[in-house]
Structure 1
Amino acid sequence: MPLLIVALGVLLLLIFIMKFKLNTFVSLVIVSFIVALALGMPMGEVVESIENGLGGTLGHIGLIFGMGAMLGRLIADSGGANRIAITLIDKFGEKRIQWAVLFASFIVGIALFLEVAIVLLVPIIFSIAKELKISIVKLGLPMVTAALATHAFLPPHPGPTAVASEYGANIGLVLIYGIIVAIPTVIIAGILYPKLAQKIVPTAFTREGSESFGVQKTFKLEETPGFGISLFTALFPVILMALGAIVDMIQPALGISDNLFMNVIRFIGNSSTAMTLSLLLAIYTMGIRRNIPVKKLMDSCSSAINALGMLLLIIGGGGALKQVLIDGGVGDYVADIFAGSMMSPVFFAWMIAAILRICLGSGTVATLTTAGLVIPSLAGIPDVNLELVTLATGAGSAIASHVNDAGFWMVKESLGMSLKEAFGTYTVLSTIVAVSGLVCTLLLDIII
């Protein structure tokens, strides 16, 4: 019965969003109330459960998201992201242009949210495709692969950051393991699959893209920050969080006791501290150092936060639904079903996230709802690697992007593809990211 209620809740969520065009956050809150009552929760506890879920989810990650969004916007508005992309493309050369786009998009994608990365990078590859007289889809697929992989696996992106917090995983380790998983995944999905896709949907590779996406903000290269400082600024949070994670790994192994140096490294490697320091660095390198008024820099930061508002509410709504599933006993029910099962918790988390992603469209909502079903089942499993469960959840949340996913329409329209072509390229590509991510995570689970 609890699983039937969840299934009906998911169906109702789909109807609200797709049929009645209700806002996703509003739909999540309404469904949370309905599911809570249907599960038999006392009326006096329903509101408290929803509030706890929303507040608990946003409490830890709000600072990371806010700082991350402002960092990405400063790098983009200063032309730093443009400099990184153009320089790498020049260095790789025409013959390896897809590798150049993949590499540039991966670096830029670490700092920028999925939709922002696509909007920023499409004009760049649009102009390159025109100059080299090749289809924009040939360059667009490596670009969206890198953006999707960073979105699914790497903090400070919403899904992995939020679900790492819910599972109690170390965000620094999630970042390190996520990069290890993402590298082979983007090569398979972004370089190898497009060669096959060219045979499956050849018409897609005749497309020239949408002109409307080719007229975004342009920069004169000499007016942008240098390549080295742009790259360092974009990767600075990665460096700090990786340092913190490395200290957490080697300290027990080497038997080093806590001291001032270790505490300082752990402090600056904390995700919230790392994002704050990275933003301060970006304000200097992308702005003050280049004599850009602080007011203009703060305008960029404000616009980033304004754009983030609804995303934060949607994440909070997903957290509310997650908490209702836990407090309503659904998580315990699922845990009982799989008690004694030999199924890997990594595969279980991936499977649940994949099913919810296909149904709901939003990868972020799917990851948070998955947490509500998976967390109780982890309690009885000794030595479970929470970082890998986080990555598996992220991988599952990337699967089969289709018509209920805003990212699907963004890719389709920006690359000028028909619906059939988008299914044959991006939907399959996102599934490869999900499956490859799972396989790499399972391999890591054996090794670690």
Structure 2
Amino acid sequence: MSSPPAQGARLVVIGAGAVGVTIALHLRRLGHDVTLLSSDAPGSENATSYGNAGWLSPGSVVPISMPGMWKKVPGYLLDAQGPLRLRPSSLPHIWLWLLRFVACGATRARARAIASALRPFLAGAADRHAALAAEAGVPELIQRKGLLIVYPDEAAYKADAFGWQLRRENGVRWNTLDRAALEAVCPGLSPRYGFAAQLPDGAHCADPGGYVAALATLARAQGVHFADGHVGGFVLEAGQVRGVRSSGRVVACDSIIVAAGMGARALGRMLGDSVPLVSERGYHVQVPDLAEEPPLPVMMSDLKFGITPMRGGMRAAGQVEFAPAGAPPDWRRARILLDCLRDGLPLVKIGGFSTVRHWMGNRPSTPDCLPVIGPSPSTRGVFYATGHGHLGLVSAPWTAELIGRMIGGDTVPEAAPYDPARFLRFRL
């Protein structure tokens, strides 16, 4: 519905996570007058991108919702220790979302469509991030060492055949390793893992929070304005956005880009749009000052968590918990991660829970496993860039390119799967 602003237009980007900061930087380079509005500092602990596992993986095309998932939902409700947790108290609030979520990947054709739509965000992501990090003066934060996905044995790997088929269909390269080869690449892994897939094109960010902060510093140096405050409403004239009300003032604009993560749901409601996001909560624990740690990121396929060497220690991240965004953290999820870490790396000395850093973030997830990127169906001058789930960091550069083209008035047919209008009749 949005009409493109002229070059040099006044644009407000709402949200200072990885997606919002990257969009603001890109739009400024296109010649626009850009203000980045957020109540949190870029790279701060409150941002979901801060606690990201840091993976920049082309292999992440495989959606969470896959054929046969509906059979597992009862188990998720009952298993408090499992890798995917549904709080029973949240069901009244998300059951419609959950039904659509399970249905979106219920057939192989549907899962293939999702994987194909995710591919552009992931293919070449390591190159895009490496270029941004170098320009921001932190090239060391993008590490191109590849990634490992480990399995108990070759039979377990073959049982995951459809996921690997989706990766192959979307251009992902990998080679397989037996136990001897795996031990050479990543010594110290538990003997329970006897087989692995190595993704040579994978990379990781060694400090997601620091990286986003560095990009924000670069954006400021290039002329992006930063404003601190909560969004309280919008100034609309004849169906066109003209300003953002924030902390007792109005920030005038020609267009806005809503990149506020979970906050986009409430902001969309203010604007008359349905942005049906549910919090796909993720947890991490970070162990500092380890004498030995894996030289590259490793995903334990059976335990559904990954470990990543970070600038501040080794981070174990994972666990999916569907719960209301405002509900208190369930730190049992982080304790489970610590137990998994001990199981996966039995030779590494890891202290108790009180000795490690633990964190929880609300990943904004849609019921069809695809982000919401594009113009508002109800208000001119409004664009959305949210709903990336666990792929926000890796997806940020390509999202920024799409938004830049849309703001410039280009037709962007490849963005059709992410169109906000697909949720016109779906409200939570």
TM range (shorter): under 0.3
Between Structure 1 and Structure 2, which shows a larger proportion of helix residues? 1
TM-score, normalised with respect to structure 2: 0.27
Considering fraction of residues, name the structure with more strand. Answer: 2
